Amino acid sequence: MKQKVLNSSKIVIISHKNPDGDAIGSSLALKNYLIKKGKDATVILPDSFPNFYDWLQGSENILIADKNIDKAKDIIETADLIFCLDFNDLSRVGDLGELIAQSKASKFMIDHHQNPSDFADFIISRTEACSTAQLIFEFIETMGDLSLINKEIAEGIYTGLITDSGSFKYSNVESKTHLIAAHLLDVGLNHTRIHDLIFDQNNLSRLHLLGHALSKIQLIDELPVAFIALSRNELRKFNFSKGDTEGLVNYCLSIKGIEMAAFIKEDVDLVKMSFRSKGSLRVNDFASTFFSGGGHINAAGGRSEVSFDETVILFKKSVNTFLSE
């Protein structure tokens, strides 16, 4: 694996649809590391990312595939190594999945989701890890290159660590996670600045959307379940832009006695859903059984192609079935 990386010169890094902080942070950290190793590395994402990540070094050169699929195709076709970060199934990258499958390049998956599919030549899959960003740090460590981690690489890794671990609060945070954070601080990372850039740059309409969403939290009779559903009209009314609803689902889970939470959002041609849970309640199983999705035990997502209103009804029914099993 080490030799493969050293022998490759044209490298592509791809992460999943609706990229989150871990997808973007891991990808840019790896890219900036590979550039330091003298490689030509490009990050390609299936669709656009929230603008509160646009301060990360290299974010301005990320190729967004749904805006420029021909260029993405060219780059993938001529690559000799493709890193697949923070996803473990080609269905998670839209049209890029086909291009990855057809490419002659070697494929290297680095991921922390359950049940990896078998499309890569090299796999680092550690489902207990809190984030792919942690695995990127460990990968650079395995390459014997910790000394190459500078402030910009540290910022990418830290972004992934905090956005996927609820700022170090989820149960999959290990002592190693904190040791990594310590290392990142030692190379000059300003953690207060990063938190501010990611979490404290709200505009008023996002907070008004939050207020509206909180006023719409629904509970399901007799079950420890809370959810929020927002239609396109509601989102439009509050000038929704990508990332504005990130974290909403956690408010449902913060209610005393609630063990499972959902956020249901009407998109252009589908309804997107986020699921969260506490303890051993497996929302990844719920997502894959009822909503063509997947993810982690306590954080998963899925989709529905029936109407928004029908999805809400279907969700309530599915929860009843799932929790009575």
Q: Is 115 helix (H, G, I), strand (E, B) or coil?
A: coil
Q: Is 241 helix (H, G, I), strand (E, B) or coil?
A: coil
Binding mask 239-278 for ligand 5GP (x = CB under 6 A): -----------------------------------x----
Which residues, in sequence order, are bridge partners of residue 299? Answer: 276
Nearer to ligand 5GP, 125 or 150 (CB): 125
Which residues, in sequence order, are bridge partners of residue 304? Answer: 271
Q: What is the DSSP letter of 172?
A: T
Binding flag, residue 293, ligand 5GP (CB under 6 A)? yes
Whole-number Å distance between alpha carbons of 210 and 248: 7
Among 43, 184, 300, 312, binds ligand 5GP (CB under 6 A): 300
CB of 253 to ligand 5GP, least distance (A): 12
Whole-number Å distance between alpha carbons of 310 and 184: 47
Among 99, 209, 299, 319, binds ligand 5GP (CB under 6 A): 299
Q: How many residues bind ligand 5GP (CB under 6 A)?
A: 14
Whole-number Å distance between alpha carbons of 254 and 181: 26
Among 46, 97, 243, 294, binds ligand 5GP (CB under 6 A): 294
CB of 112 to ligand 5GP, least distance (A): 8
Any idea which residue has 């984030």 for tokens?
131
Whole-number Å distance between alpha carbons of 240 and 265: 11
Residues 88-147 that bind ligand 5GP (CB under 6 A): 92
- Site residues, Mn ion (CB under 5 A): 22, 86, 132, 164
Any idea which residue has 């809190």 for tokens?
130
Among 19, 58, 224, 302, binds ligand 5GP (CB under 6 A): 302
C-beta of residue 42 within 8 angstroms of C-beta of residue 72: no
Residue 248 amino acid letter:
L
Kindly give, in sequence order, each residue whose CB lies less than 8 Å from that of residue 122, ignoring residues fewer than 6 positions away: 1, 4, 106, 107, 108, 109
Residue nearest ligand 5GP (C-beta atom)? 301
Sheet holding 260-266, edge to edge: 218-219, 225-230, 260-266, 271-277, 299-304, 294-295
| Region near ligand 5GP per CB under 6 A, out of 12-20, 37-45, 47-55, 137-145 | 12-20
Nearer to ligand 5GP, 87 or 158 (CB): 87
Whole-number Å distance between alpha carbons of 56 and 152: 8
Nearer to ligand 5GP, 16 or 282 (CB): 16
Nearer to ligand 5GP, 97 or 293 (CB): 293
| Residue 301 contacts which entry, ligand 5GP, Mn ion, none (Cβ below 5-8 A, type-dependent) | ligand 5GP
CB of 16 to ligand 5GP, least distance (A): 6
Nearer to ligand 5GP, 156 or 295 (CB): 295
Residue numbers at the binding site for ligand 5GP (CB under 6 A): 16, 18, 20, 92, 274, 293-296, 299-303
